[in-house]
């Protein structure tokens, strides 16, 4: 029997760091980085459980949990999550799910910055309006995920900033593996840096347009890093504008999420609450 975990994002919650640094460092873990169910099924079909015993597979892709594309209609991210959860359930009846969340204002700013780095002229206000309240309700997302799967590990991006070793210890316990011995070294690595300044985003866009490399993912990684470095010499863009009513609803949603995550994890997350 295969122990299979689906790490479904969300976007901008250090997903790339988990994919490239933490998960591959865990003993006996195979990492599959794809959002395509047929590729996941093909990989699982090649595993010989009679030889490997009970292998552990972690499927990790942020797009399984939603979308941050700027050309989308409100409600699209919610529909994608629900559709993917149904596909995951059909593929792996015995499964566990890992999902990360991030404070809404910080998440929206980071998501917008990533899209603006790749595409010129994205309007900040229009970007926010492309999400419905359901798309941005982390509490509702966690409840939806919990209704589709009993074994769920929710975490906060902010934990990686304040108490990363506790987060990794909890997560490794959930997966059933010991933390990697080089964890301190791994935590010093920053993946998928997102330029926040107009200069940084311009530089990254320009580098991407000039790229004709077949290894575009590798080139994008360097373009983003150069753009992020430019943030040191040019002021970052202002925070995305939020309607006061929406800001209030998201603040309430965030605090409710903290309660749900605390119940599942057995920790008090009140230090992360927004007044």
**Are 63 and 39 spatial neighbours (Cβ–Cβ below 8 Å)?**
no
Q: What is the pLDDT of residues 178-228, one digit of tens each?
A: 999 999 999 988 766 665 556 555 555 566 666 655 455 555 666 666 656
**Residue 7 main-chain phi, psi, to 5 deg:** -95, 105
Q: What is the pLDDT of residues 142-181, one digit of tens each?
A: 999 999 999 999 999 999 999 999 999 999 999 999 999 9
Residue 1 confidence (pLDDT): 72
Q: CB under 8 Å to 51, separation ≥6 — which residues?
A: none
- 52-81 exposure pattern, b = at least 16 Cβ within 10 A, e = fewer: eeebbbbbbbbbbbbbbbbebeeebbbebb
Write a three-state SS string for the chain.
CCEEEEECCCCCCCHHHHHHHHHHHCCCEEEECCCCHHHHHHHHHCCCHHHHCCCEEEEECHHHHCCCCCCCCCCHHHHHHHHHHHHHHHHCCCCEEEEEECCHHHHHHHHHHHHHHHCCCCCHHHHHHCCCCCCCCHHHHHHHHHHHCCCEEEEEHHHHHHCHHHHHHHHHHHHCCCCCCCHHHHHCCCCCCCCCEHHHHHHHHHHHHHCCCCCHHHHHHHHHHHHHHHCCCCCECCCCCCCHHHHHHHHHHHHHHHHHHHHHHCCCCHHHCCC
**Residue 9 main-chain phi, psi, to 5 deg:** 100, -140
Lowest mean pLDDT among 9-13, 152-156, 232-236: 232-236
pTM value > 0.75: yes
Residue 72 confidence (pLDDT): 80
The Cβ of residue 190 has, within 10 Å, a number of other Cβ atoms equal to 12
CATH number of 3-189+251-272: 3.40.50
Measuring CA to CA, how many Å separate 188 from each of 147, 182, 209, 221? 35, 10, 30, 17
The Cβ of residue 129 has, within 10 Å, a number of other Cβ atoms equal to 12
Residue 267 has pLDDT above 80, yes or no: yes
């Amino acid at each position: 029997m295969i122990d299979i975990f689906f790490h479904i994002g969300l976007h901008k919650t250090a997903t790339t760091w988990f994919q490239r640094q933490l998960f591959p460092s865990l003993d006996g873990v195979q990492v599959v980085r794809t959002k395509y169910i047929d590729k996941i099924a093909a990989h699982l079909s090649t595993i010989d459980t009679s030889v490997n015993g009970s292998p552990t597979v972690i499927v990790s892709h942020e797009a399984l949990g939603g979308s941050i594309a700027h050309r989308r209609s409100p409600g699209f991210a919610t529909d994608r999550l629900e559709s993917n959860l149904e596909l995951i359930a059909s593929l792996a009846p015995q499964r566990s799910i890992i999902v990360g969340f991030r404070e809404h204002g910080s998440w929206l700013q980071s998501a917008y910055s990533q899209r603006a780095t790749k595409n010129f002229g994205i309007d900040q206000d229009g970007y926010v309006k492309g999400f419905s309240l359901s798309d941005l309700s982390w509490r509702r997302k966690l409840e939806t995920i919990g209704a589709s799967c009993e074994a769920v590990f929710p975490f906060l991006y902010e934990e990686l900033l304040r108490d990363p070793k506790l987060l990794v210890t909890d997560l490794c316990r959930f997966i059933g593996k010991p933390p990697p011995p080089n964890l301190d070294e791994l935590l010093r690595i920053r993946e998928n840096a997102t330029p926040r300044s107009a200069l940084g985003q311009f530089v990254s866009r320009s580098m991407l347009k000039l790229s004709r490399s077949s290894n575009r993912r590798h080139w994008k990684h360097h373009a983003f890093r150069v753009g992020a470095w430019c943030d040191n010499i040019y002021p970052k863009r202002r925070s995305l504008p939020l309607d006061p009513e929406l800001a209030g609803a998201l603040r309430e949603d965030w605090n409710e999420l903290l309660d749900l995550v605390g119940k599942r994890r057995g920790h008090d997350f009140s230090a992360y609450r927004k007044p």
